[in-house]
Structure 1
Amino acid sequence: MLEIYNWIYAFRLKTLPLSLSGLILSTFIFFSKKNLFNRDIFIWSSFTSIFLQILSNIANDYGDCIKGTDNITRIGPKRTIQSGILSKKKIKLALIIISCLSFFSNIILLFFSFNEKFSYIILLFLIGIILCIYSAITYTIGKNPYGYKGLGDLSVFIFFGLISLEVNYYLYNHFLNKEILLLGISLGFLTVSVLNINNMRDIDNDNKNGKYTLPVRIGLKKAKIYHIFLMIVPFILSILYVFLTYKSISQYLFIILIIPTIRHLRIILKIKNHKEFNYEFNINIYINILYTFLMGVGHLL
């Protein structure tokens, strides 16, 4: 039982809803337009997204431990390898298993989306899932992990925003939607803001250990301004999206999040003790989840 708990802890369940944001929002939008719900696509896309997020989480755990970034001076939650909860050998085996699960769940997803019909677009999806797996692992693992060069923000923006929403929408009806690109950008920025809080919290330890995240490169003060940008721009783009696709006033439901968002940003600007970022990290995740839910429900009402 303890072993199971240790693995659940390693998976970082708190972050898993973020991996589903694009799928959930694309499902709401598709249903509002077609009044259809494809259960099989939703289930297998969920599995694929969750597997990829777990893969990224444990790869980050392994990579940071190997490079010494996870240590006793780190402020964030304890990591499994560094604290002795799980061994390197077990994590390496988990990386292989979850990589395989990600790939095969994606194949099943494509089977249900394309109804056994071969299409060259399927080859692009297969290449895409391989790139996703590779990116999840090489964020902190390898000789030149891109997460140590400040490129994590760009990766999260692309995979959690642009790709997550547009690709899942395409899997439902096999064509892209130009308007929801605005929502993809919004989701991307909001998810990057979660990473940014994490990196601001660990800025001192990362700098000492050669992990040059964006906050390390630009400094904490500018990172806080960057955080404001990441959380305000999505509201502007979302308002523009609703203006272009307007059907009912309920589409503006997400605007109620402006008040907690402003409160969150005011606290971020005042933080001096880096441990306080942990609480706002959770608040940021809740804002992300509520944004997805409110934007989606707004399409249905």
Structure 2
Amino acid sequence: MQDNFDQKKVVSTKRQTGIWWHMLRPHTLTASFVPVALGTALSLNVSSLHWPLFFAMMLSCIMIQAATNMFNEYFDFKRGLDNDRSVGIGGGIVREGVIPKTVLKVAFSLFACSALIGVYICLETTWWIALVGIVCMAAGYFYTGGPYPIAYTPFGEIVSGFFMGFVIIMISFYVQTETISYLSILLSIPVSLLIGAILLSNNIRDLDGDKENGRKTLAILIGRKNAIILLTTLFILSYCWIITLVVVGMTPVWSLLVLFSTPKAFEASKGFKGKTMPIQMMPAMKATAQTNTMFGFLLSAGLLISHLVG
């Protein structure tokens, strides 16, 4: 009897762990550590790598995004957007019975842990980083929280791309070099566009449901067809941006490794065409996130190779 009880307890623990792991939305976390990796790779031509700061930045950014995902889970439930028939990566509350207040407490706990790591980063660099970190946390909370959630407006793609792309890359570069370069700014742009594309793909998938719930996302305002065209345009701009920087000699030729991610971008664009059901668009949405991951890692790898062979 005791053996059976212990076995059930182990199964229950594994199930609970799986639920919480799913709620963290792990496959979206690449949108955090790709910018950190890129900002750090960019810094190699300016200064030597400070490993503790690199890992601190990585962990802090991942925690902020994980907390943002939790807030998204909580507030979508509170506003009635999530139900047991919803298609997507959330649903821990509506499908698994996780207590809503517990989700909220975990989100704030992740923010607290990120803030503690931020103290170390500030001690090693400057306390201005604390101000930037607070603004980033506020953006993460108000993305779906507060009386006027950013995610319910046409500005979600811009906000996510700016904070998770440009800002993270700049901070990651700064904590290593204590400066900002034109190249770091220029190379942050395509990554910011692709992070915005992830949210756009999510909003294309959820267009009908969001419209019924009163959201006014960019995809709703311009329509599904134009939103898909915009998504494809973001992909094209990102690749053309890198090619242009290589042609004018501002970034090494190894940066063209990003072109190996173009099949995923093509798959994402093609996957949305002619689809209207959310479940049909899940593969295209996944391909969009994979495009950002591959693009960011290949660009970082290209910069690293250029540094090593140069």
Which residue pairs with 1:170 in the alignment?
Answer: 174
1:50 aligns with 2:54: no
SS of alignment partner, residue 83 of structure 1: coil
Which residue pairs with 1:231 in the alignment?
Answer: 235
Determine if contact 2:269/2:284 at 8 Å carries over to the other structure.
no
Residue 214 of structure 1 and its aligned partner are, at CA, apart by 1.2
Residue 192 of structure 1 and its aligned partner are, at CA, apart by 1.0
Which residue pairs with 2:104 in the alignment?
Answer: 92
1:285 aligns with 2:301: no
Which residue pairs with 2:212 in the alignment?
Answer: 208
Q: How many residues align?
A: 292
Residue 292 of structure 1 and its aligned partner are, at CA, apart by 1.3
CA–CA distance in structure 1, aligned partners of residues 260 and 274 of structure 2: 23
CA–CA distance in structure 1, aligned partners of residues 274 and 177 of structure 2: 46
CA–CA distance in structure 2, aligned partners of residues 103 and 248 of structure 1: 36
Q: Deviations over 1:88-145 (max 9, x none)?
A: 1201211221121121111112223x2xxxx5xx2x3212111111111111112211
Residue 220 of structure 1 and its aligned partner are, at CA, apart by 0.7
Residue 43 of structure 1 and its aligned partner are, at CA, apart by 0.7
1:23 aligns with 2:27: no
SS of alignment partner, residue 273 of structure 2: helix
Residue 84 of structure 1 and its aligned partner are, at CA, apart by 3.7
CA–CA distance in structure 1, aligned partners of residues 165 and 249 of structure 2: 19
Residue 247 of structure 1 and its aligned partner are, at CA, apart by 6.7
The AA in structure 2 aligned to 1:83 is: R
Which residue pairs with 2:154 in the alignment?
Answer: 150
CA–CA distance in structure 2, aligned partners of residues 9 and 188 of structure 1: 25
Q: 1:208 to 1:19 in 2, by over 3 A?
A: same
- How do residues 23-172 of structure 1 correspond to structure 2 at under 5 angstroms? 23-31=36-44, 33-34=45-46, 36-112=48-124, 114=125, 119=126, 122=127, 124-172=128-176
CA–CA distance in structure 1, aligned partners of residues 22 and 295 of structure 2: 26
Percent identical pairs in the alignment equals: 21
Q: 1:78 to 1:40 in 2, by over 3 A?
A: closer
Determine if contact 1:58/1:95 at 8 Å carries over to the other structure.
yes
CA RMSD of aligned residues (A): 1.8
Determine if contact 2:73/2:90 at 8 Å carries over to the other structure.
no
Residue 70 of structure 1 and its aligned partner are, at CA, apart by 0.9
Q: Deviations over 1:17-51 (max 9, x none)?
A: 111111101222222x1472211111100111111
Residue 245 of structure 1 and its aligned partner are, at CA, apart by 4.2
The AA in structure 1 aligned to 2:114 is: S
Q: Deviations over 1:252-276 (max 9, x none)?
A: 2212223432243223223343312
Residue 194 of structure 1 and its aligned partner are, at CA, apart by 1.0
Determine if contact 1:200/1:215 at 8 Å carries over to the other structure.
yes
The AA in structure 2 aligned to 1:80 is: G
Which residue pairs with 2:10 in the alignment?
Answer: none
Of residues 19, 22, 26, the one that matches 1:6 is: 19
CA–CA distance in structure 1, aligned partners of residues 269 and 94 of structure 2: 32
Residue 64 of structure 1 and its aligned partner are, at CA, apart by 0.6
Q: 1:47 to 1:30 in 2, by over 3 A?
A: same
Of residues 270, 276, 279, the one that matches 1:275 is: 279
Using the size of structure 2 for normalisation, the TM-score is 0.88
Which structure's CA Rg is the greater one? 2
CA–CA distance in structure 1, aligned partners of residues 169 and 248 of structure 2: 18
Which residue pairs with 1:197 in the alignment?
Answer: 201
Using the size of structure 1 for normalisation, the TM-score is 0.91
Q: 1:101 to 1:180 in 2, by over 3 A?
A: same
Give structure 1 regions of 4+ aligned residues with deviation exceeding 6 angstroms: none
Q: Deviations over 1:169-206 (max 9, x none)?
A: 11110111112222211111101111111111111111
